[in-house]
Structure formats: structure tokens, C-alpha cells
Amino acid sequence: MMLDIRDLHANAGNKAILKGLTLSIAPGQVHAIMGPNGSGKSTLSHVLAGKPGYEVTGGTVTWQGRDLLSMPAEERAAAGIFLAMQYPVEIPGVTTINFLRAAVNAQARLRGEKEPDAVTFLRRVKEEREKLNMSDEMVKRPVNVGFSGGEKKRNEVLQMAILKPALAILDETDSGLDIDALKVVAGGINALRAPDRSFLMITHYQRLLDYIAPDFVHVLAAGRIVTSGGPELARRLEAEGYDGIVKVA
Amino acid sequence: MSARPATPSAARQAFGNGLDHAWSQAAASLPGGDWMRQIRADALARVVRSGLPGRRDEAWKYADLANMRTMALPLAEAVRVPVEAKAAVSADAHHVSIANGRVTQIPVPDSLPDGFEVLRLADTLDVPSLWLRPFLEPSGSVVDNLNLAFATDGVLVRVGRGMTVASPLVVHNSASLSGTMSHDRSAIVLEEDARLTLIEITGADATRDALATSRLAINLGRGASLVHIRLSSGTQGAALVQDGSVELAAGARYGHVALSRGAGLLRQQANVRLAGEGAQCDIACAYAAPGGHQVDLSITLHHAAPRTTSRLLAKGIAARKGRGVVQGRVVVDEAAQGTDSHQMARGLLLAEGAEIFHKPELEIYADDVKCGHGATIASLDPTQMFYLQSRGIPATEARDMLLEAFVQQVTDHAPDALREDLMAWATRHLLQKEGHA
């Protein structure tokens, strides 16, 4: 297993949010976690990425044999975990291209690798941004400043493409996107599917799964996974709503 | 600044006596003929009457010069100037050096293009000359009067009508002053349509009580344009007060970028008067106040003519026990219809126990004006920090990136050719690690 979550309990503030979540993801697999508002979807993604403000009160998370929860956020990134955020942050004064370069170099240093030379780096950024229909001007602007919702999500996918994570966590990547933007973003993600790369998609709606086909679908309710299945589970959720499924489970 | 009501305090008396004593000791060595001596004596009398400014003066609400034991210090001796400061500017330039209030280096007249004059103040004070007069009439501020009484030297710069000086004029001003004080006084005159870039690099160094004042009067003729860059730093023992006035005729432009680091007190006060129609000024300041240091920017923008424009951006970083103050006062005369003014102050507190004060003031007597102001004070944004870290950038590097970005929005106001040098200076002096502690 690449990612192994066992009986994970976590608080946000003093409130228990995750209450015994167990999930395993193998290389190359695409998992979708669906659930109603307040079920703990975003908490799960934040705890995995190492965002401050959460307290793990029980359970373990093992990533490629290492104790993920003991690693600071930057080490998790260098170890191949990437969180595409629901609300990408604006950083005035830092251009996307410099941000990407700093990230690539920092990850290389943390892994004890050589930093890629500038020419190679710039060529890769050009290739990847063109696939996402992003202009040169966009990557020279401050990170996400003045970007539309769709542009911010494309910028997340661009970062993912450059950083080549082993596990990409997509937190509500479809939220705020119109259908055209969703197609571009989903196309970018699909292009990154690979036998050594796993995805954990967190979403409220089935819509995203029409464009990125999952291998497994899990339903999260009240901080734990209540049922799991294949893509057909997502379609059942769409038809019956969370209430029916969560109650049956 | 109005004189305070006389207080009977012995401290006031001691201050007056001390200052008189310091002046009587210094007077013989101060440059200038009898006429100048009288001007100095009058200025001194005004300082003794009003006392040094402190908390009771609105303009000095946050920075107490009276409370700093700087009164009655002897004048600093002349010293040789350290030259390493030159490295801060990579471009070709005309260099002036001032050390402890005396000019130690100045371009020889033959090296300057016709119409561009750079003179020593001390060389010009023997006989009263008419064109000097405006710079010897104090603005009324106590610091200006104190400076006038004791000024040992400075530079007088004139750029003739229609002339563009291609290389910047760089003034290196260093003071090394434990237990002493120094005062320099300079003036810059740009005649009609003249252009100049002035770069001031000022360092005040003291291990104990010391006061340096630096007075700069700028007069911009019709359509003239001055880019004024100022890099200032001081150590904890030093009080450094930079007192400036800028007068803009119609269509003149004043662009000012100031980067400042610390000092026991680093006070930058300026009075900018947009006196001619369509005059424009753009002031951008970034400062860092490390622990035990205090930076106080007090700027008055006086719109006295129609359709004048002013912009003020001040960004400050304060560490634990560091203090930053930004006072931005905008006055719009009744005649100044169509004024367009905006000021923004942003403060970043790096730790508990850091202090930043913002005090915008607007006095508007015209009705057709656009005057905006804004102020923010915050810590580094944890969501930005996490965003950078989640991409693999370690916390210390992420913090440096955010601080650099914060300051860069100020250096971006400088001409392209100077930005890199300014950012390098800022990284070294404003963002150095000890400044974060």
C-alpha cells in the first residue's frame, strides 16, 4: 500500500471531526470520497497535507512506509503528497513562476537531489501551461491574484503537473467551476494519471466523477467511511441522495 | 509645531542651559559669517523656547525625542568616511560623501556637465546670498531649527533649466556618534523641466546617546522631475531625524522610495507641498523595526493647487519590541479642486510585543476631491504560509518569500534600473534574520 489510514481520529478546534476513518490507496488507483457537508471531507485532506489547526487524537497514517503525521507539511510535499486546494490562496508579490521554481528546488533539496537547471524548468512550465491553456502572462502574475475560480483551479493543476506528486489529493476541485472550466481541469488531471500516481478526490457532487472516472468510491458520514464501492455507488448517490445511503449503511 | 506653554520644570531649564553650552562650544567652529551666526542664534533661541518635541506634540505622538537623552550633546568630530557604502549602487554615479555632518567628498566642478552644480554648504556661508535664503529660513519644526543652529555642512545641488542629469547623484551620509550629535543641511533645486535621480544612503552608528539630524529642502520648478531614493539605517543607540521639505511647481513630479531600518529612533518627517497645478508625488516607504528599534514616518502632503496628485504607500515590519509608526497627513486647500490623493499603510507584526501605529489624517477644504486612505496591521498570513509549505517550501524560506514580496511592492515604485539594487539592500538590511527575532 502506498497510503494507509487506520482508525484516524482528528479534532478541529475542540470538535471531533474524524472519528475512526480507515482507508488504503494503492499505486495508480483513483479513489473518490463523497459525503454531505460537515462529514469531514476537507478535514481529511487538511490532516493528510499537514495544515495547522487540526489535532490528531488517534489512529495512524502511513505513507510509503513512513509515519506521515510526524512530518512537517513541506516534507510531505517532498515525499510526493500534493493537495489541490478548494480555495487556492492569493499571494501578492510572488509570481507563479517564482513560486513554482522555489517549490521545485526546495523539494529537490529535501530529497537530496540536484535542483533542475533553469532552462529545463522553464521548458517544462511552458509545456504544461500550454496543455492547460494558460498564457505566459498568467504564470508571471502574482500567485492567484485576480484569477477567476477556473484560473485558480488550473493553476493548482499546473503546480501538480510540475511537481509530479505520487498522491494527489483534490479537495472539491470542481467547486465553483462552470462546465467548460471543469472540462479543462479534468482533462489536465486525466493527463496526469499514471501507474505510479494515485488520486484521492474529495467531492460533494457526482459531477466531477463524470469526467474523472474513479476506481473506488467511498461515502464519508460523521467522520468515518460508511460504505464503499465502485463507480456505480456515485451514481446511486446522485439518484438517491446521501440520506438514503447513509441510513442504509 | 507650536511652542508648548512654558513649563517651570528644571528639566526645561537644564535643557536650555545644556544646549546653550553645546552651542557656545561649537559656535566658533561652525561655518558662516556674522550674518549666518545671527541666523543660528535665532534658531537656537526658538529651540530653547519650545524644547525638544515629545509626546505632547501631536506630530510626535509616538516618538519622544525629548525623552531621549540627546540634549546638549557635544558636536561630533570630523571623521574619515567609510567607502563601502558605494557598493549599494551599481550604476555610474556622481558621489558625495558626508561624515559626521561634514562633506568629505564632492565631485570636482569640471567633472559635472554644465548646468549641474554640487557645492558644499560650508563654502557658501561666508556672505549672504539670495538664493540660499529659502533654505536658511526654518520651516518651523524644532528639528529644523536645531539643525540650522548647528549645521556643519551639507550639499547644495542645482540642476539648470531643461537639463537631465543622466547618472544619479549618490549622497553617502554616515555618522558615527557615541555621546555626540551631528547636523547636516542640504538643498536640491531643479529648475524648470530639469531631471535628476538622487540616492541617499544614510547610516547612523552609535553605542550610546547620539543624535543626528539631516535636513533636506527640495525645490522642483515647473515640469521638473526628481526621483529620490533613500536608504537609511541606524543602530540602537542612535536617534536619527531626517527632516525634509519638498515644494513642487506646476507639473513637477516627485517620486520617493525610502527603505529604512531601525535605529533607537529613526524619524523621517517630510512636508510635501504641491504648490502648482498638476504637480504629482508618489511616495513609497518600507521599513523594518527590529527589537529595541523604532521607526517613525510622519509625512504631510499639502495640496495647494488644483488637480494635484499624491500617493503614499508605507509598509512596515516590526519584530518583538520593535515599533513602527506611520502618520500620513493630507491637507487639501480650498483652491486645490480636483485633488487626487491616496494613502495606504500596511504593517506586519512578526511576533508578540511588536507594535505598529497608523494615523492617517485628512484636512479637506475643497469639495471636488478624491482622498482615500487605508491601513492594515496583521501577522504573516498562516494560509499563505501553509500554501507555500504544502508545495515543499520550508517555513523559514516561505516566511522570507512573503516578507520579500511585502517589501518588493515598495521597491517596485523605483525606476526599473534601480529595483534590483534596492531589493538587494532591503534583503540585507530589512529582512536580515536578526530583524525577525
Q: Tens digits of per-residue pLDDT, A175-193? A: 888 888 888 889 989 999 9
Provide the pLDDT for residue B66: 65
If you search the block for the grid coordinates 537531489, which residue do you land on? A113
CA distance A30 to chain B (A): 21
The span from the CA of B53 to the CA of B365, in Å, is 28
**Res. A174: pLDDT tops 90:** no
- Parse chain A into domains and list their residue ranges: 3-248
Q: Tell how many helices (H) and how many strands (E) occur in chain B.
A: 7, 19
The residue among B437, B436, B410 whose CA lies nearest residue B423 is B410
Give Cα separations from A216 to A196, A202, A234, A235, B52 (angstroms). 17, 12, 9, 12, 76
Check if A158 contacts B (Cβ < 8 Å): no
**Is A92–B382 a contact, with Cβ atoms under 8 angstroms apart?**
no
Joined together, the cell numbers standing for residue A184 give 479543462
Give the Cα separation of B260 and B203 in Å (integer).
Answer: 10
Identify the closest residue of chain B to A50 by CA–CA distance: B390
pLDDT at B352: 93
- Does the beta carbon of A49 lie under 8 angstroms from any beta carbon of chain B? yes
Tell me whether residue A12 is exposed, middle or buried, using C-beta atoms within 10 angstroms of its C-beta: 0 to 12, 13 to 18, 19 or more.
middle
Q: Sheet harboring A224-229: ordered strands across?
A: A81-84, A167-171, A198-203, A30-34, A216-221, A224-229
> Which residues of chain A lie closer than 8 angstroms to B406, CB-CB?
93
What length does chain B have?
Answer: 437
Q: Is B169 exposed, middle or buried (0-12, 13-18, 19+ CB in 10 A)?
A: buried
Percent pLDDT > 90 in chain A is 78
Query: Smallest Cα–Cα separation from B263: which of B241, B283, B248?
Result: B241
Integer Cα distance of A166 and A80 in angstroms: 5
Searching chain B, which residue's CA lies closest to the CA of residue A100? B391
Q: Is the dihedral of CA B389, B395, B396, B398 positive or negative?
A: positive
Mapped onto helix, strand or coil, the DSSP state of residue A23 is: strand
From CA B281, how far away is CA B379, in angstroms rounded? 30
- pLDDT tens for B327-346 read 999 999 999 999 999 999 99
The number of beta carbons lying within 10 Å of the beta carbon of residue A179 is 8
In whole angstroms, give the CA distance from residue B100 to residue B151. 10
Contacts of A180 (CB under 8 A, 6+ apart): A150
Rg (alpha carbons) of chain A, rounded to whole number: 18
Q: What is the three-class DSSP state of B91?
A: coil
Determine the pLDDT at residue B2.
Answer: 40
Nearest CB to A102 within list B383, B384, B401: B401
Contacts of A106 in chain B (CB under 8 A): 391-394, 397
> Which site among A46, A48, A51 would you substitute to test the B interface, given the most B Cβ atoms closer than 10 Å to its Cβ?
A51
Q: Which of B390, B386, B398 shows the shortest CA–CA distance to A81?
A: B390
At A239, the amino acid letter reads: A
Classify burial at B435, counting beta carbons within 10 Å of its beta carbon; exposed 0-12, middle 13-18, buried 19 or more.
Answer: buried
* Nearest CB to A83; choose among B390, B404, B409: B390
- Round to whole Å and give the CA distance between B343 and B13: 40
A197-217 confidence digits (pLDDT tens): 999 999 988 888 999 999 999
At residue A61, does pLDDT exceed 90?
yes
Report the 10 Å Cβ neighbour count for B217: 23
Q: Which amino acid, one-letter code, is at B60? A: W
Q: What is the pLDDT of residue B62?
A: 81
Report CB contact under 8 Å: A74, B393.
yes
Work out how many CB contacts closer than 8 A connect A with B: 80
The pLDDT assigned to B435 comes to 42
Decide if A106 and B392 are in contact by the 8 Å CB cutoff.
yes
- Sort B417 into a burial class: Cβ within 10 Å, 0-12 / 13-18 / 19+: exposed
Task: Give the C-alpha distances (Å, rounded to integers) separating B181 from B86, B177, B211, B213.
Answer: 24, 6, 5, 8
Contact A42, A10 (CB under 8 A): no
Q: What is the 3-state secondary structure (H, E, C) of B173-213?
A: EEEECCCCEEEEEEEEEECCCCEEEEEEEEEEECCCCEEEE
All structural domains of chain B with their residue ranges: 28-380
CA of A51 to nearest chain B CA: how many angstroms apart? 6
B73 contact partners, CB below 8 Å, separation of at least 6: B22, B179, B180, B181, B209, B210, B211
d(CA B231, CA B229): 7
B108 burial type by CB count under 10 A (0-12 exposed, 13-18 middle, 19+ buried) = exposed
How confident is chain B (437 residues) per 10-residue block, as mean pLDDT?
A: 50 77 86 90 88 78 67 77 56 89 92 93 83 75 91 95 96 90 95 97 89 95 98 91 96 98 92 98 97 95 98 97 96 97 97 94 96 95 96 95 94 95 93 55
Which pLDDT does position A247 carry in this prediction? 66
Distance from CA of B374 to the nearest CA of A (A): 17
Hey, is the C-beta of A107 within 8 angstroms of any chain B C-beta?
A: yes
- Is A52 in CB contact (< 8 Å) with chain B? yes
- Mutation target among B344, B391, B403, B408 for the A interface, most CBs of A within 10 A: B391
Alpha carbons B175 and B264: distance in angstroms, whole number: 14
Q: Are B235 and B203 in contact (CB under 8 A)?
A: no
- The pLDDT of residue A237: 84
Tell me which architecture the domain covering A3-248 has in CATH.
Answer: 3-Layer(aba) Sandwich (3.40)
Higher local confidence (pLDDT), B346 or A234: B346
Q: Does A112 touch chain B (CB under 8 A)?
A: no
